[in-house]
Amino acid sequence: MDVDADGSQELLATADEGLSILHRDRRLTLLHASHPLDVAWTHEDQSGLELLVLSETSGELSIEQLVCTETAEPSCEVLLQVRVDHVATEILVGDFDEDGRNDLVLGGVRNVSVLRGFASDDGSPRRGTTEDVGVVEGFDAESHARMLAADLDSDGHLDIASLDLEVGVKAFFGAGDGSFVEAGLADSSLADAYRLHAADLGGDGSIELIVMGWSNTWVLEKQGRRSFERSSGLDTALGRTAPASLLGDFDEAPGMELLLVEDFVDFASVASYSDASSQWVVRELSSLPDGPTSYIHWATAWDVDADGFDEAVSLLGTPIYCE
């Protein structure tokens, strides 16, 4: 994303000093002197970017608005503070009741809650109360990237999907008025899942859910309006336990791919998914640097050299793989 509106894409990263911008030349610009639980962005245009920063102290959640522009230092304002009966580790932003104001979804250890309209009608911040949408089981306070907002059933209304250690993946289908219908999308055999993504893997315009686990990676393909079917695991194509995965656009083919790197192995693989056959196609790479590569687990996909293809970038800002 273009965080500082300078025409170049940057990466948000958590460094020792706090939340920072990582530039293509590997410079770090400090945005927020804390280690937030999660970050979500609410607005992006030519003038800059607005972020929401979630932090927690003694059971009280603080939501701060961080405004980044090219011409001024980042400014930070506390929008609201909310007491919750569970630890929240993730935030999502979306207009779930379609009233023209953003709502805030808090993902906690056990609950998914919605904070209605965290901005008042004139755009000024206000305090609010949370409303529980449903229950998710089995996550600790270190769980991240397990919740997303998307139109899962193609009805034009925003839905929520969350990992759940009892049912695998749980959906909260939105009706557009702020109400939700809860449904399980996958079974408990996804119990070691730690990350959830939504992406068009096959490049055909259809969105799949990608469930990443410590031992395998699965795709949930849409089968009907509110039904998803689980594909065979990535371990079937690899012939071994699937390693942790990184989602990005790493080649010229349409759709997204997974970059796979195993601990202490000096090579990687790119796995593409075929919608037509519901199968993975895996090809090995040999362009990784020498030495152990386990730090790929703390990397993200980013087009460092602006050539149209993603690279895997470690937290040190070092490109690990280039197509």
Residues 69-119 have pLDDT tens digits of 666 566 666 666 666 555 566 777 888 888 877 777 777 655 666 666 555
User: What is the Cα–Cα distance from 275 to 126, expressed in whole angstroms?
Assistant: 45
For the residues 298-309, what does the mean pLDDT come to? 69
φ, ψ for residue 118 (rounded to 5)?
A: -75, -5
pLDDT computed for residue 95 by the predictor: 84
For 230-281, write each residue's pLDDT tens digit. Answer: 877 787 777 777 666 778 887 777 778 887 765 545 556 778 887 777 788 8
| Whole-structure pTM value | 0.73
Model confidence at 185, pLDDT cuts 50, 70, 90, reads: confident
Model confidence at 157, pLDDT cuts 50, 70, 90, reads: very high
**Percent of the chain, pLDDT > 90?**
1
Buried (b) or exposed (e) across 240-271, using 16+ Cβ within 10 A?
A: eebbbbbbbbbeeeebbbbbbbbeeeeebbbb
